[in-house]
Each structure stands twice: as structure tokens, then as C-alpha cells.
Amino acid sequence: MRDALLITGRGPWLREAETSRSSSFSDNVRPGFQTKHKGLTKAMQTLIRHLLRQPNRQPPTCFECGYQDSQREGWYDRKTGELAPGFSLSKRDVCVDVGCGQGGASMFAARQKAEVIATDISPEVITRIEEKFARLRTPWRAFVSDTDPLPLADGIATRVIAMEVLEHVESPDRFVAELVRIGQPEALYLISVPDERAEAVQQQVAPPVYWQPPNHLRVFAAGELEDLLKRHGLVIERQLAKSFFWAVWWILFWAADQDLREPERPLLQFWTRTWHELLKTPRADHVRRALDECMPKSRVIVARKPGAFQ
């Protein structure tokens, strides 16, 4: 989860230059020329050395582009420790990532030296997470759970993450009740669901399996997620609209007949490159934020569990 055309290959002349790097430029210049034009010879040698060091530019992947897009909005900020704006992590935290998926949020938390507990309903996902976490020096656990209930003690977490999970569960109320139970007083919560505007388009283009278990079981209308969290005692601290880029990418995903196990097909590659070029422009943030407000992929809430005496 990046000029519309990028020149990614090196010219034949440069490839030839690379294959003959063992012989110096001066070895192939006539002695008289070298004597009379030492300055020019040196400049050309410097130019060729510089060209040979240039990387073979590859087009950005959707994940690289999406990551850059998120960082522009304050996500994954290692300097402040914020996974999302208003949701910071540190070595003092115990972070429970429910429905951890590929583990991006969990890994960010671990890099901030937080203790991480990652759960997912898929055994294959947890196996991959355990492989990733094996090299960590911070405390961590990962296990399979459907969160009904979570096999964790009351009040264990100072940070709770559940991103793009609620739309998959049978009972959102039971799910949120479990999240609240495991949080300490003053714990912060980062919760997101697909935005109803992007989902309205998906209803027109996605195949029926998209709306069947274990995929999306419901669409959260405007205000519904907020009401759900408030009903379980959480206080809304911040609301965010996230990623027009991913909203369109997933709409085009069906048109491209994309397989997630394969590289992006041309249609998705061109969309990724278009967004990548937008991010280079002076007005990129203004345009990006306007589009995020128009049709974000996700609606995100940062919430807090009140203290015992509030």
C-alpha cells in the first residue's frame, strides 16, 4: 500500500563505458592531445566518473509512493516519534497492534523502542511478523487472535492500534469494548476505517467477494465511527483524512485485474508515477490535502481513554 514517464535505462554508450572501467580515460587519448589539453582531459575524466556513479533509476513502487505521501502529512515521523499526527510512541509505551497486517505500524513502534504486542486473525501473517521481529532488541509478542476476546490482561496497553480492521468484524461494539478493556487510563488509540466516499466507488467496481467475509462487512457512514468510540467511553482527540492516492489506486486495482502477489501492472504504475510527480511540485501539499478531503482512502481517529477520575 510515487514527467509521467521516467527514463529508467542507461544508454548503450554508458554501459560500454561501465564495461571498460579498468582502463583509464587517459590511456585512450593520443599523447599530443593529452599534453596540450590537460585541463579538458581532467574535466572529461571527472564527468565520466560522475556518470558512472549515477544510480539506475527505477520507477517508484506504490508502497514507496504511499509512504512518501503519508510522511508529507506527518505520519511515520521518527524525529517526533509520531506514527500519526497526535499519536506518539516511546520506550515508555506498551503498544498493542490489533489486526497488524504487514506490520508497518508495529515495526515503527518497535523502532521507537516501545514494547510491541501484535495480533492478527491470520496465522500466515503472524508467521511473517515473527520473522520480521526476530531481529528486534525491544520486547515483543505476536500471536493469532480474532479479538473476541483478546487474550491480554486489563489495562496492559498505553497505545492501541486498530487500522482498517473494524470493517471486517462481526460486532464492532464487542471489538471496541476489548480495545478499551486492555487500555490503561490515558491510553491513546489510533483507529481507522475506509472512508464511505471511497467505499461508494468500490461498491460500483469491486467484485462481490470484496463485500464477503473475511473482507469488508460494512461501510461506516459519516459520524458512525465517532459515535461508536464515544459509546465506549473514548474521547476523540483528532480526526484525519488519509490518502486520496490509495483510494484511487484501489479503484484502479480492479480495472487492472491486478494480483497482489505480482508487480504493479502498467495502469497502476502510471498512477503511481503520476502521484510521484505531483509530490515534486511546489503546490503538492495544497493539492494533496484538497484531494484527501474530497475522497480519502481512510478516516482516522486518535482517541484517548479518560483517566480514572475524569
pLDDT of the residue at 261: 85
pLDDT of the residue at 4: 32
DSSP 210-247: GGSTTS------TTHHHHHHHHTT-EEEEEEEE-HHHH
**Weakly modelled stretches of the chain, pLDDT under 50:** 1-30, 33-35
Give the CA distances from residue 223 to residues 124, 220, 299, in Å, rounded to whole numbers and listed in that order.
34, 8, 10
Q: What's the residue count for the chain? A: 310
The C-alpha atoms of residue 194 and residue 217 are separated, in whole angstroms, by 12
DSSP class of residue 121 equals S
The C-alpha atoms of residue 269 and residue 211 are separated, in whole angstroms, by 26
HSE, side-chain direction, 13 A CA sphere, residue 81:
12
pLDDT of the residue at 56: 57
220 Ramachandran zone, left/alpha/beta (phi>0; psi -120 to 50): beta
pLDDT of the residue at 59: 80
Who contacts 83 (Cβ-Cβ below 8 Å, separation ≥6)?
A: 75, 76, 89, 105, 108, 109, 161, 190
pLDDT of the residue at 8: 29
DSSP class of residue 25 equals G
pLDDT of the residue at 15: 31
CB 150 within 8 A of CB 161: no
The C-alpha atoms of residue 167 and residue 178 are separated, in whole angstroms, by 16
CB 168 within 8 A of CB 215: yes
Q: What is the amino acid identity at position 239? A: Q
Q: Which residues of 244-253 are buried (b: 16+ CB within 10 A; e: fewer)?
A: bbbbbbbbbb
Burial class (CB in 10 A: 0-12, 13-18, 19+), 17: middle
CB 273 within 8 A of CB 2: yes
Burial class (CB in 10 A: 0-12, 13-18, 19+), 172: buried
pLDDT of the residue at 257: 92
Who contacts 149 (Cβ-Cβ below 8 Å, separation ≥6)?
A: 178
pLDDT of the residue at 51: 58
pLDDT of the residue at 160: 98
CB 64 within 8 A of CB 269: no
Q: Which of 93, 124, 123 is nearest to 108 (CA)?
A: 93
φ and ψ at 188, to 5 degrees?
Answer: -100, 145
The C-alpha atoms of residue 37 and residue 179 are separated, in whole angstroms, by 75
For residue 1, the tally of other CB atoms under 10 A from its CB is: 18
CA-only gyration radius of the chain, Å: 25
